[in-house]
Structure 1
């Protein structure tokens, strides 16, 4: 006789969903209060999970931090800073849209917590070589993508100049975000957008 299983409770455990939730929560906490000021227990509480569940996916806090950089920070840079430039009518238009778009978001949120990549770079790059390499790889990918788009727009532009100009754009964004965080104003981003567009015209 076959037993009817329709009344049995279905398994609701979803390890991958929990892993994603832990990453989302950790990324938010690292952004708002910093990596060093955030304890594993802070993440456990905010994710409404257990220490065992967290350590199943991330054996150490460092493993969690590196995963946040690779799986949350890097995709955010791609979505907010790389793809908009790659798909814009020109590099100049894309860069203007990136700076002003982020400024618009900051003003809607009425708070500036800074660039996640910048925050982690400043906090962790000198403390740990693995963190430094992870953060630098995101910066480098960003810079290379910009350099390629700049050279695509202007084939006559020397490759080394395109690379240097890409470095200036990334540095301008990072510096403007730091100033915006300190002043709690999006004005530095808008000022840099204007000057970069003038420089590239």
Structure 2
């Protein structure tokens, strides 16, 4: 039992350090050696848990990246309340609350999509799964808003969901290029205007 717990902690440490390095430095430039140096564990500890960097990458996507998107962008969409207000909270207010570190490094998921999303089918599938979960939750919220008469009936739920995800993720990438929030304020003006067009 003690050994199992130690093994699980070792695995968690590897995943945490890998996520941080992938986020700050990129997936391709982060070697197994670099990850293990950060953990202060031996390379043997890595190969005890993973066959390759690809296996670790997939686990980082499913355990760290997906959990982050679910917690920050998907679960809030399922809260009770006015659909329009929820959209504002999730898309507008969340952007305002990101730390300097998050603004500087962008979105972990978007970074991985841009870096390795077209390199390997397994990565593509894992990353696409997160987008699909997000899209499904958004469509459900928009449909609910239409049923409750807080959102306009004629809007296409799927198109709106994909647009909002794309705008949000695209801006997270663009924000990395700037050293202040002036561009964020401009983007939020445009996004607020778009969201108002959805409201009854």
Q: TM-score, normalised by structure 1?
A: 0.85
Residue 66 and residue 83 in structure 1: after superposition, are their counterparts in 2 closer, same or farther (change >3 A)?
same
Q: Give the secondary-structure state (helix, strand or coil) at the position aligned to 1:49.
A: coil
Mapped partners of 2:76, 2:114: distance in 1:
25
Name the residue aligned to 2:98.
105
Q: Deviations over 1:46-98 (max 9, x none)?
A: 11211111111111000000000011000100011111122152332223222
Residue 32 of structure 1 and its aligned partner are, at CA, apart by 0.4
Contiguous gaps of at least 5 residues in structure 1: 1-9
What number of residue pairs does the alignment pair up? 190
Q: Deviations over 1:134-178 (max 9, x none)?
A: 1111111111111011101213847x8111111111011111111
Contact 1:91–1:149 (8 Å) recurs in 2: yes
Name the residue aligned to 2:193.
195
Contact 2:103–2:175 (8 Å) recurs in 1: no
Residue 110 and residue 71 in structure 1: after superposition, are their counterparts in 2 closer, same or farther (change >3 A)?
closer
Q: 2:157 aligns with which of 155, 162, 166?
A: 162
Contiguous gaps of at least 5 residues in structure 2: none
Residue 11 of structure 1 and its aligned partner are, at CA, apart by 6.9
Name the residue aligned to 1:37.
29
Q: Give the secondary-structure state (helix, strand or coil) at the position aligned to 2:125.
A: helix
Contact 1:150–1:162 (8 Å) recurs in 2: yes
Contact 1:22–1:54 (8 Å) recurs in 2: yes
Q: 1:59 aligns with which of 46, 51, 62?
A: 51
Residue 12 and residue 68 in structure 1: after superposition, are their counterparts in 2 closer, same or farther (change >3 A)?
closer
Residue 196 and residue 38 in structure 1: after superposition, are their counterparts in 2 closer, same or farther (change >3 A)?
same
Residue 148 and residue 111 in structure 1: after superposition, are their counterparts in 2 closer, same or farther (change >3 A)?
closer
Q: Deviations over 1:110-153 (max 9, x none)?
A: 85201111000000012111111111111111111110111012
Name the residue aligned to 1:5.
none
Mapped partners of 1:114, 1:145: distance in 2:
22
Mapped partners of 2:72, 2:190: distance in 1:
16
